[in-house]
Amino acid sequence: MDSIIVRGNGPLSGEIPIAGAKNAALTLMPATLLTDEPLTLTNVPRLSDIKTTNELLSSLGTEVAVLQGGQIIVLDTHKITNHTAHYDIVRKMRASILVLGPMLARDGEAVVSLPGGCAIGARPVDLHLKGLEALGAEIELKEGYVHAKAPTGLKGAVIELEFASVGATENLLMAATLAKGTTVIKNAAREPEIVDLADCLRKMGAQISGDGSTDITIEGVEKLHGATHPVVTDRIELGTYMLAPVIAGGEVELLGGRINLLAAFCEKLDACGISVTETKRGLKVASRNGRIKGVDVVTEPFPGFPTDLQAQMMAMLCTADGTSVLEETIFENRFMHAPELIRMGASIEVSGGTATVTGVEKLKGAPVMATDLRASVSLILAGLAAEGETIVSRVYHLDRGYERLEDKLSACGANIERVSE
Ligand code: UD1
């Protein structure tokens, strides 16, 4: 199993290209199941989760062509030849549940294993299933699998989500494109990845309005066709690398970054004394007077502060002035990075969904364990400014969400290397 070794090495300088969004790609790829014509995605990030999705789609009958080293993927699902998404693949990645809606909408049947994914809480899929039932699907849970049927096709309905779930909104949005009549998803998630999915579906012939707001309206159509679509910029990769020069010092340009992808995050950085400026090519980040002020953060659905940046923000606040309180409202078990940061000398107290961080002068390198995707990268960020060596083990989590992380950071002067045991 690989580890990553980071040695605190002073200020960073240079540029980091930001890839296409993992979370957008993971919902755009299953959209292939809605059409018998090819769907071409460009700006695809090169990640293990994308490989897993290719494997999953291939198992359902999709012909997958990977071009330009993985940046372009052509998905051709002329026919769905198998309607069961098996546990072996689904357990590796929770987003596999996103094949359920499209498969059901196209062929009236789908069997999908209940998902696994990151160990950051219970993460049920009840909202996906209730929404599909509202569209007329019959759903049964048997031996760890969701069995869904709609022999006479799905029918449009008004669905009010109890919580603005990203995955449920995506599954229902895809399913509704081929349902008969009008569907309205109320209290829909508003994440940029949802807007990106809607843009792609419109190119495929779907009739969708209101995406990016709380109410999405979909007029079902008979058939969707092929399309070519570039994956939106990864705002979480962007936010992660924006914190690197804040933690290590220096100035880095994030190529392809835009403030509107991360407005709430940028507001918090501003409150900490960090300037974010838009350039022709992306964003530049610099500390205004060298010291970082502590700040309180509450994670919320978009447009609020993203839960996927909470761990990285905590790593940054470990050496900020004063006390910061971080409240996690989306996932109930998402402070697993805290004990690891404490091993590096951080002062953090966790109580339920709240973590109180009291800034210390400097962190010290230590062997630490990655527990989930965003937790892993927070430990790498912390290591950038720690004294001595930080060894992060179990980095397979990182490879799910960050392409060429060591290359991107070392190109800016970080002392970071991957070692295989
Ligand atoms: C997506 C992102 C993930 C991000 C999360 C919140 C992908 C592939 N992953 O995950 O990186 O952290 O949004 O921004 O896009 N819930 C239910 N029932 C459901 C669905 C969700 O109770 O049927 C709960 C979950 O347990 C969780 C919360 O709702 O507590 C948020 O989940 P959701 O928005 O669905 O996140 P994901 O789509 O899984």
pLDDT tens digits for 9-63? 889 999 999 999 999 999 999 999 999 999 999 999 999 999 999 999 999 999 9
Would strands 367-369 and 39-42 be described as parallel, antiparallel, or unpaired? unpaired
Residue closest by Cα to atom 17 of ligand 1: 124
Average pLDDT over the chain, rounded to an integer = 94
Say if residue 192 is in the same domain as residue 108.
yes
pLDDT at 332: 80
> The tokens of 355 are what?
């973590």
Say if residue 208 is in the same domain as residue 239.
no
Total of domains in the chain:
2
- Ligand 1 centre and the CA of 46: distance in Å? 22
**Which of 179, 91, 109, 92 is CA-nearest to residue 147?**
109
254-271, pLDDT tens digit by residue? 999 999 999 999 999 999
Say if residue 158 is in the same domain as residue 36.
yes
396-405, pLDDT tens digit by residue? 889 889 999 9
Say if residue 138 is in the same domain as residue 244.
no
pLDDT at 10: 83
Instruction: Please give the number of the atom of ligand 1 that sits closest to the Cα of 123.
Output: 26
pLDDT at 290: 76
pLDDT surpassing 50 at residue 120: no
Mean pLDDT score, 223-249: 97
The domain boundary, picked from 205, 230, 255, lies at 230
CATH number of domain containing 409: 3.65.10.10
pLDDT surpassing 90 at residue 371: no
pLDDT at 338: 96
Say if residue 47 is in the same domain as residue 133.
yes
Say if residue 241 is in the same domain as residue 175.
no
- Ligand 1 centre and the CA of 301: distance in Å? 9
Say if residue 342 is in the same domain as residue 193.
no
Say if residue 216 is in the same domain as residue 327.
no
94 lines ligand 1 (CB under 6 A): yes
pLDDT at 1: 80
Say if residue 302 is in the same domain as residue 205.
no
The domain of 114 spans 24-230
Residue closest by Cα to atom 9 of ligand 1: 23
pLDDT surpassing 50 at residue 415: yes
pLDDT surpassing 90 at residue 96: yes
pLDDT surpassing 70 at residue 116: no
pLDDT surpassing 80 at residue 289: no
Say if residue 145 is in the same domain as residue 111.
yes
Q: Which residues are catalytic?
A: 118
Say if residue 86 is in the same domain as residue 170.
yes
pLDDT surpassing 60 at residue 208: yes
pLDDT surpassing 80 at residue 118: no
Mean pLDDT score, 95-123: 84
Alpha carbon distance 297, 308 (integer Å): 13
pLDDT at 395: 87
Q: SS3 letters for the chain? A: CEEEEEECCCCEEEEEECCECHHHHHHHHHHHHHCCCCEEEECCCCCHHHHHHHHHHHHHCCEEEEEHHHCEEEEECCCCCCCEECHHHHCCCHHHHHHHHHHHHHHCEEEEECCCCCCCCCCCCHHHHHHHHHCCCEEEEECCEEEEECCCCCECCEEECCCCCHHHHHHHHHHHCCCECEEEEECCCCCHHHHHHHHHHHHCCCEEECECECCEEEECCCCCCCEEEECCECHHHHHHHHHHHHHHCEEEEEECCCHHHCHHHHHHHHHCCEEEEECCCEEEEEECCCCCECCCEEECCCCCECHHHHHHHHHHHCCCECEEEEECCCCCCCCCHHHHHHHCCCEEEEECCEEEEECCCCCECCEEECCCHHHHHHHHHHHHHCECEEEEECCHHHHCCCCCHHHHHHCCCCEEEEEEC
Mean pLDDT score, 321-332: 94
- Of 240 and 117, more confident: 240
222-233, pLDDT tens digit by residue? 999 999 999 999
134 lines ligand 1 (CB under 6 A): no
pLDDT band at 333 (very low <50, low <70, confident <90, very high): confident
The domain boundary, picked from 230, 253, 276, lies at 230
Instruction: Please give the number of the atom of ligand 1 that sits closest to the Cα of 130.
Output: 23
Residue closest by Cα to atom 24 of ligand 1: 123
- Ligand 1 centre and the CA of 262: distance in Å? 18
* Beta carbons of 35 and 393 less than 8 angstroms apart: no
pLDDT at 123: 65
pLDDT band at 287 (very low <50, low <70, confident <90, very high): confident
127 lines ligand 1 (CB under 6 A): yes
pLDDT at 206: 98
The domain boundary, picked from 230, 257, 289, lies at 230
- Of 116 and 36, more confident: 36
Alpha carbon distance 89, 69 (integer Å): 23
Residue closest by Cα to atom 3 of ligand 1: 308
Say if residue 125 is in the same domain as residue 179.
yes
Buried b (16+ CB within 10 A) or exposed e, 371-382: bbbbbbbbbbbb
